Amino acid sequence: MVDFSHLTKAYKKKVVVDDFTLSVDVPIFGFLGQNGAGKTTIMKMIVGLLQPTSGTITIDGALSSHPIFKKKLGYMPETPYFYERMTGMEFLRFCDELFDNTNSGADPAARTSHYEEILKKVGIFAARNAEIRTYSKGMRQRLGFAQSLVNDPEYLFLDEPLDGLDPIGRREMKEVMLALKHEGRKIFLNTHILADVEEICDEVGIVHKGRLLYAGSVKAFCAGKPLEERFMEAVAEHESIALNAVPAHEIPAGHHQK
């Protein structure tokens, strides 16, 4: 289970995540929101790349910053970075070394087989010995996904993992996520693609300007309406409430209170 308690992240006077409180205990949870909603910031705080201004994140009852989670978490950033002259296999081995798996008595042949199985899973095994600089954008996305699996994590945090993939690639990667779900792994998915949320997420959190507007099942949120329509309604309702809470003399020109 992942618990967020009054999580806040601010840069000087700009609040990016605002009093975010949520408990998640489902196989695949989707963060849905517009660009700049705070989804990536939340995910970076979970995996320790950013520190909260206030509040806490716990995983299975312990702070997510605890060293015990280093090997339990897998993370795919929104824009993965690669060493261009490494091959796909070399890159996975390099990532594995960050977890000390190759220097702790692990069988090298077994680790190599592990990398090969991951590359097969994400569909780029044929390019395993090609330099990354020759990879297409879709192949790079698949390799970014692959590196998140190299330490055999219990929890996966994926930031826009389907971005840049063609329809076939998106379908294949969604099938990989569903297979990981059936293996018992927990997946957090950041996306702004509504169709992907509807298709694979067990529950969803709607994030807007750093605040949580809704958390629960997609079906309950939609209430018989298309997800896109309900999402727009939730955002518009939040904006209306926020506008009406601002004193009249502080309302920007062009806006009118109802």
Tell me, rounded to whole angstroms, the distance of Cα 69 from its chain centroid. 16
At 165 the three-state DSSP class reads: coil
> How high is the mean pLDDT of the chain?
88
User: Cα torsion at 105, 111, 113, 117 (round to 10°)?
Assistant: 140
At 5 the three-state DSSP class reads: strand
**Is residue 232 situated within a structural domain?**
yes
Last residue of a domain, one of 152, 177, 197: 152
Q: What is the pLDDT of residues 17-71, one digit of tens each?
A: 999 999 999 999 999 988 889 999 999 999 989 999 999 999 988 888 887 777 8
Neighbours of 6 (CB within 10 A): 12
Check whether residue 67 and residue 48 sit in a common domain: yes
| Domain membership of residue 198 as a residue range | 1-72+155-164+185-246
Residue 65 is predicted with a pLDDT of: 80
- The CATH code of the domain that includes 213 is 3.40.50.300
Q: What is the pLDDT of residues 70-108, one digit of tens each?
A: 788 999 999 888 999 999 999 999 999 888 765 555 688
Name which residue leads in pLDDT, 197 or 147. 147
3-state secondary structure 50-75: CCCCEEEEEECCEECCCHHHCCCEEE
Tally of domains in the chain: 2
Nearest to 72 by CA among 159, 148, 146: 148
**Is residue 224 situated within a structural domain?**
yes
Q: What is the pTM of this model?
A: 0.87
Residue 249 is predicted with a pLDDT of: 45
Residue 258 is predicted with a pLDDT of: 39
